[in-house]
Amino acid sequence: MFSPNDNAGRNLDAGLAPDYPIELDFPDIRPYAEGNCGTPYLFSFDSGQPGPHLMINALTHGNEVCGALVVKELLDLGLRPRRGRLTLAFANVDAYQNFDPAHPDASRFVDQDLNRVWTSALLDDLSRDSVELRRARQLRPVIDQVDFLLDLHSMHERCAPLAVCGPLDKGLALAHSVQSPSWVIRDEGHPEGCRMRDYADFGDPDSPKNALLVECGQHWEASALTVGRDVTARFMKTHGIIDAEDLPSDWYQPTEQPLRVVRVTEPVVASSNDFRFADNYTGLETFADAGSIIAWRDGEPVRTPYPNCVLVMPSLRQLRPGVTVVRFGELQSDSAPTDRPGV
């Protein structure tokens, strides 16, 4: 659909720096529009053998192309599960079709963030309507059948890949079993609304169903595709629906040990557009001292609440009132960060 050269020499929206080059092609996914199970852009394959139902989801956000490339490659490879069932989805296709390389952050969603609208059919307020709500309602009956979900994402800023496992012990156990990425974020989600990975039984500590959201890297960097392939291959192999040789060997990357777990303690939410960071943070910066100023909100300083505070996914690219612009986290692993400078 779009080539990397379409963005050559162009800047992102005014005031948003740095300007990341688009290194990944945005493929034409219209040939996959029909799906194979009655829902557009959704494919499900049942092996006929006992096993779990896995779902690989891409394009929760329309400008996060690495997941779309992974799902497209799985379909083009003709991959079928040896055991259990495999579902592959392109989620927010309407947002994806709006992608403009001159304004690459603008196609995150059409009306509202698809990753903040997940609720059960019983609690769904049908008087509310948006492109994203309509798509969530299309996908929900299938997601309700899924045992293990992998939701492939990418990030506004260039940062080490992150596995977002939610607040529960079972989510952390899933991140450990997949073993990639090496940074794991344990969090409660966002005040704006429920994410897909926290939806229904995925967020129930008494349910065996489980989900992992993986931020594969900066939205358009080539390495995000490498991470997406690796975590997808490991996710399917971990749950036994494929064998290692069912995918090209270069999908698997060496693992980094040990995992480093960051527990998010609180979000920093913009109350207006008057918010600025003290420096050009991109994520995982660690502040040794409590009370360090990291930003100003409506003219007031925003300070770290405790020593060795980690910044989780700071970004102003979607700045507006009510948006989480960064989260504070505590490093839970015994291993200190080695690939990010302290501040």
- Whether 337 shows a pLDDT value over 50: the answer reads no
- 282 vs 11, more confident: 282
**Do residue 35 and residue 129 come from a single domain?**
yes
Peptide bond before 18: cis, by omega within 30 degrees of 0? Answer: yes
In a domain, 154, yes or no: yes
In a domain, 342, yes or no: no
- Whether 10 shows a pLDDT value over 90: the answer reads no
Residue 35: the pLDDT is 98
* CATH classification at residue 128: 3.40.630.10
Summarize the confidence of residues 274-281 as an average pLDDT: 96
Angle between helices 169-178 and 222-238 (to 10 degrees): 110
- Whether 83 shows a pLDDT value over 60: the answer reads yes
Give ∠ CA 232-334-291 in degrees, rounded to 5: 105
**Do residue 293 and residue 229 come from a single domain?**
no
**Do residue 297 and residue 242 come from a single domain?**
no
**Do residue 132 and residue 234 come from a single domain?**
yes
Taking CA atoms, 201 is separated from 73, 121, 125, 325, in Å, by: 29, 13, 20, 28
In the chain, alpha helices (H): 65-77, 93-97, 131-143, 169-178, 222-238
**Token pair listed for 9:** 């020499």
> 79 φ, ψ to 5°?
-65, 135
Question: Which range, 17-31, 146-160, 316-330, has the best average confidence (pLDDT)?
Answer: 146-160
**What pLDDT band is residue 11 in, cutting at 50, 70 and 90?**
very low
Q: How far is CA 248 from the centre of its chain?
A: 24
- Whether 336 shows a pLDDT value over 50: the answer reads no
| Residue 103 contacts residue 82 (beta carbons within 8 Å) | no
pTM above 0.85, yes or no: yes
Domain that holds residue 292: 264-331
**Do residue 30 and residue 173 come from a single domain?**
yes
Peptide bond before 258: cis, by omega within 30 degrees of 0? Answer: yes
**Do residue 143 and residue 55 come from a single domain?**
yes
Q: Which DSSP letter does residue 31 get?
A: G
Last residue of one domain, picked from the residues 224, 251, 278: 251
**What pLDDT band is residue 192 in, cutting at 50, 70 and 90?**
confident
In a domain, 191, yes or no: yes
Residue 334: the pLDDT is 44
**Do residue 277 and residue 239 come from a single domain?**
no
Whole-angstrom distance between the N-terminal and C-terminal Cα of the chain?
41
| Residue 22 contacts residue 63 (beta carbons within 8 Å) | no
Q: Which DSSP letter does residue 291 get?
A: T
In a domain, 242, yes or no: yes
**Do residue 238 and residue 274 come from a single domain?**
no
In a domain, 257, yes or no: no
**Token pair listed for 278:** 């003290």
* CATH classification at residue 297: 2.40.50
In a domain, 258, yes or no: no
Q: 22-77 pLDDT, tens per residue? A: 999 999 999 999 999 999 999 999 999 999 999 999 999 999 999 999 999 999 99
**What pLDDT band is residue 326 in, cutting at 50, 70 and 90?**
very high
Residue 18: the pLDDT is 65
Give ∠ CA 100-106-112 in degrees, rounded to 5: 130
Residue 333: the pLDDT is 57
In a domain, 343, yes or no: no
In a domain, 259, yes or no: no
Q: What is the edge-to-edge ordering of all strands in the sheet holding 275-277?
A: 275-277, 293-297, 300-303
Taking CA atoms, 195 is separated from 14, 61, 267, in Å, by: 29, 12, 15
Residue 306: the pLDDT is 96
Which region among 81-85, 147-151, 256-260, 292-296 has the lowest average model confidence (pLDDT)? 256-260
**Do residue 317 and residue 238 come from a single domain?**
no
Last residue of one domain, picked from the residues 207, 229, 251: 251
**Do residue 74 and residue 210 come from a single domain?**
yes
**Token pair listed for 156:** 């506004």
| Residue 304 contacts residue 294 (beta carbons within 8 Å) | yes
Q: Which DSSP letter does residue 104 get?
A: T
> Quick one: which of 63, 193, 188, 191 has its CA closest to 128?
193
Summarize the confidence of residues 322-343 as an average pLDDT: 67
**Do residue 324 and residue 192 come from a single domain?**
no
DSSP states of 45-76: EE-SSS--EEEEEE-SSTT-HHHHHHHHHHHH
Q: For all residues of the chain together, what is the average pLDDT?
A: 91
Position 264, amino acid: V
Last residue of one domain, picked from the residues 189, 222, 251: 251
| Residue 138 contacts residue 130 (beta carbons within 8 Å) | no
Number of domains the chain is built from: 2
Residue 61: the pLDDT is 98
**Do residue 173 and residue 269 come from a single domain?**
no
- Whether 338 shows a pLDDT value over 80: the answer reads no
